[in-house]
Each structure stands twice: as C-alpha cells, then as structure tokens.
Amino acid sequence: MHFVTRKAHFNAAHRLHNPSKSDEWNEQTYGKCNYPNWHGHNYEIEVTMAGEPDPETGYVVDLGALKQIIDTHVLEPCDHRNLNLDVPFLKDILPSAENLARVFFEQLQGPAEAIASPNVKLYSVVVYETERNRAEYCPYKVSKL
C-alpha cells in the first residue's frame, strides 16, 4: 500500500465556545481558548491519500491537483477568516482541532477521490493548531482499540 501526503497552511482566528452552555462552563472548560475577542493560529494541514500508483503516471494521485482541491475546499473558505463566523461548512461546529480535521476530511473526500483512480481513497487529515498540538481524523488506521 502506498500513501501520499500534501501539506498546506492557512491563518485564521477562532475561539472555543459552546453556546449551549453557560459562560462559567465555557471558561472552566476552555480557559484562555475561550477569551471573547478571538485568538488565532497558523494552521498546518496534512492530507493523505492511499492506494496503488497508476502504472502509466507513477502517481497515486497528482499532488499538484490535490493541492488545487485543498486550496478550493479548505484554504479559500478558511484563510484569513474567522472559523466561528465566516466559514459556511463550519456553521454550528465547535472549531476544535479534532472537529476541523473531521470536517476538512468530509469536505475533501468527494473532490479528492474524484481526481484519482477508483481504488485510491482519502486516508487521513491532520490539523496542526500549533507546533505542539495536532489532531488527526483517519477512518482506516485502527478498526478498534
């Protein structure tokens, strides 16, 4: 099995706040991530597809084409935006790194698999919030714990 990965990055503001909960719960749960006037990150994302390389091209998927898919479906809606306010597909979603990884996976799966041969699948999306904190969504890596 082969895996190919493309990295991308964008800069955005966000805030962790669950509007169905009290302000106290939010402060206690999220600490400074709950500060009212937003903070932000240089988000790095890693998008991995898995499958066999096409014998004619040597590619699992053309990473230049995958870059375009990531640009269109993640970077254009998110870059220099407020993830709580500005991104249609994040409406009503708590923008934790975990949720971002899963939602980006859902946004990318259709268009990314459409540019590859049928046996090639979107395998995982990793979101680095900082150099020290990251989240990955991968439906294939482990069947059960």
Binding its own copies by CB under 8 A: which of 22, 23, 24, 53?
53
Specify the amino acid at residue 140.
Answer: Y
Window 29 to 48, contacts with its own copies (CB under 8 A)? 29-33, 35, 37-42
Binding its own copies by CB under 8 A: which of 27, 99, 111, 115?
99
Task: Judge whether 107 and 89 are in contact, CB under 8 Å.
Answer: yes
DSSP state of 116: S
104: contact with its own copies by CB under 8 A: no
Active-site residue 41, yes or no?
no
How close are the terminal C-alpha atoms of the chain, in Å? 22
Backbone angle region of 13, left / alpha / beta, with phi > 0 → left and psi within -120 to 50 → alpha: beta
- DSSP notation for 34-62: G-TT-EEEEEEEEEEEEEPPPTTT--SS-
**What is d(CA 136, CA 122) in angstroms, rounded to the nearest whole number?**
13
Binding its own copies by CB under 8 A: which of 23, 68, 71, 80?
80
Active-site residue 136, yes or no?
no
18: contact with its own copies by CB under 8 A: yes
Binding site for its own copies (CB under 8 A): 1-9, 11-14, 16, 18, 21, 29-33, 35, 37-42, 50-51, 53, 56-60, 62-64, 79-82, 85-86, 94-99, 101-102, 119, 121, 123, 130-142, 145
- Residues taking part in catalysis: 33, 80, 129
